[in-house]
């Protein structure tokens, strides 16, 4: 099996599937995807990702660049926050291609669990400030793909 310049295997019809599986299964990239799925806005700052994944900013940046290069994530800028010290202006979130891949690999089925884990994680004051910071809108197709009906808790029983 030969490797091309982009690192994808030239192995016929399953090459893209194998490349995506490797892309999604690397530990830090997998954590980034899970945290983005769980975030209420599905857009996170670098500081939020660092806190929630427990990985260094350098490791996260490397993997974000890999996911951006693969077309699964994009960098979104909220221009009114640029230049403000206490609010982030750069966020990372899914692209249309990203949500298509996540749908194909059944990641979107885990949205309710990812949200519950995110909401039940204790956050520092800084992370809460980042979480509530204004951010740009995701493209409509991405936002729609990431919507889910949150279950309603009636006593002990959850109802969807």
Residue 132 included in any domain: yes
Is pLDDT above 80 for 81?
A: yes
Pairing between β-strand 152-154 and β-strand 157-159 as defined by DSSP bridges: antiparallel
Residue 7 included in any domain: no
Give the CA distances from residue 152 to residues 83, 132, 148, 155, 159, in Å, rounded to whole numbers and listed in that order: 40, 23, 12, 9, 5
pLDDT of residue 8: 47
Q: Which CATH number fits the domain that encloses residue 100?
A: 1.10.10.10
Residue 6 included in any domain: no
Is pLDDT above 90 for 127?
A: yes
Mean pLDDT over 131-142 rounds to 95
What is the domain extent for residue 123?
12-159
Give Dmax over CA atoms of the chain in angstroms. Answer: 57
Residue 95 included in any domain: yes
Residue 1 included in any domain: no
Is pLDDT above 70 for 98?
A: yes
Confidence at 94, pLDDT banded by 50, 70, 90: very high
Residue 116 token pair: 């519950």
Which residues are 22's β-sheet partners? none
In angstroms and rounded to an integer, the radius of gyration of the C-alpha atoms of the chain is 17
Residue 153 included in any domain: yes
pLDDT of residue 11: 65
Based on the structure, what is the number of domains in the chain?
1
Give the CA distances from residue 150 to residues 29, 56, 115, in Å, rounded to whole numbers and listed in that order: 26, 32, 9
Is pLDDT above 70 for 66?
A: yes
Residue 57 included in any domain: yes
Residue 30 included in any domain: yes
Mean pLDDT over 30-50 rounds to 97
Is pLDDT above 90 for 59?
A: yes
């Amino acid at each position: 099996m030969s490797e091309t310049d982009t690192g994808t295997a030239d192995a016929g019809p399953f090459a893209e599937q194998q490349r995506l599986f490797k892309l999604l299964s690397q530990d830090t990239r997998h954590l980034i995807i899970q945290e983005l799925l769980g975030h209420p806005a599905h857009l996170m700052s670098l500081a939020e990702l660092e806190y929630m994944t427990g990985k260094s900013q350098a490791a996260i940046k490397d993997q974000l660049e890999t996911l951006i290069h693969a077309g699964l994530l994009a960098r979104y800028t909220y221009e009114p926050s640029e230049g403000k010290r206490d609010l982030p202006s750069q966020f990372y979130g899914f692209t249309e291609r990203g949500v298509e891949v996540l749908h194909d690999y059944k990641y979107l089925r885990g949205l309710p669990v990812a949200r519950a884990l995110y909401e039940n994680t204790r956050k520092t004051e800084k992370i809460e400030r980042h979480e509530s910071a204004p951010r740009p809108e995701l493209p409509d197709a991405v936002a729609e793909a990431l919507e889910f009906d949150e279950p309603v808790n009636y006593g002990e029983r959850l109802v969807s």
